[in-house]
A = this chain, B = another copy of it.
Amino acid sequence: MATVYIEASMSLDGFIAGPPNSGFEHLFAWCRNGDVPTSTANSTRVAYRTSAASAAHVRELNDITGTLVVGRRLFDTTNGWDGTHPMGVPTFVVTHTAPEDWKAEGTPFTFVTDGLAAAVELARWAAGDKAAGVGPGSVAWQALDAGLVDQVRIDLVPVLLGGGTLMFDRLGAAPVHLGDPRVVTGTAVTHLVYDVTGGRHA
């Protein structure tokens, strides 16, 4: 069955956003500080120009990803990525109520109203031989906390933000054990890929 991963750019002190909602210029500096372009399905919103090492890492993630699960708030904030998620794959939006005014035809979004676990299960099924990504944001740690995640991919950024939104806040399932990471050294980022090896739910 498809692997489920979560992924984030995180400061060394554990934040995926600084106080309040600042710090993105530091967290995502690695996405724009190199010579190697990597296009996405929505290059108006997201396009990379990174070190060669980071480019290979980003391409790998794009290649393995079959589906995504995202939260409703992010969907709304991005206006559904104007119809095209940068990863260009079927995307399951966790929500209490599907929006009435969203034209779903021709877009890759499916609204799931019976909870995160159901959305992850759908995404896992739909991903086939590929992987399902969950997040970013609170759905990522919720999935981790619920024991639904197989792989944790951290783009560790060499900055201390001192406050903001923690990647792993309020993790009730702790301790969660991970394997030793695969390490890819970029520029202003260290990519770490961990398999979840055990937790209260394992």
Question: A90 in the interface, Cβ–Cβ < 8 Å?
Answer: no
Chain B residues contacting A181 (CB-CB under 8 Å) are 158, 190
Question: A113 in the interface, Cβ–Cβ < 8 Å?
Answer: no
Chain B proximity mask over A158-202: 1 for CB below 8 Å, otherwise 0: 111111001110111111111111010111111010100000000
Question: A154 in the interface, Cβ–Cβ < 8 Å?
Answer: yes
Chain B residues contacting A133 (CB-CB under 8 Å) are none
- Shortest CB-to-CB span from A197 to chain B, Å, is 8
A14 to B156, CA, bound (A): 12
Contact for A168 among B144, B160, B185, B186, CB less than 8 A: B160
Chain B residues contacting A178 (CB-CB under 8 Å) are 12, 158-160
Chain B proximity mask over A131-163: 1 for CB below 8 Å, otherwise 0: 000000000000010000000101010111111
Question: A66 in the interface, Cβ–Cβ < 8 Å?
Answer: no
* A171–B12 touching, CB < 8 Å: no
- Shortest CB-to-CB span from A153 to chain B, Å, is 12
Chain B residues contacting A188 (CB-CB under 8 Å) are 180
- Shortest CB-to-CB span from A84 to chain B, Å, is 32
Question: A18 in the interface, Cβ–Cβ < 8 Å?
Answer: yes
Question: A23 in the interface, Cβ–Cβ < 8 Å?
Answer: yes
A12 to B162, CA, bound (A): 16
- Shortest CB-to-CB span from A41 to chain B, Å, is 29
Residues of A within 8 A of B (CB): 12-14, 18, 23, 26, 144, 152, 154, 156, 158-163, 166-168, 170-181, 183, 185-190, 192, 194
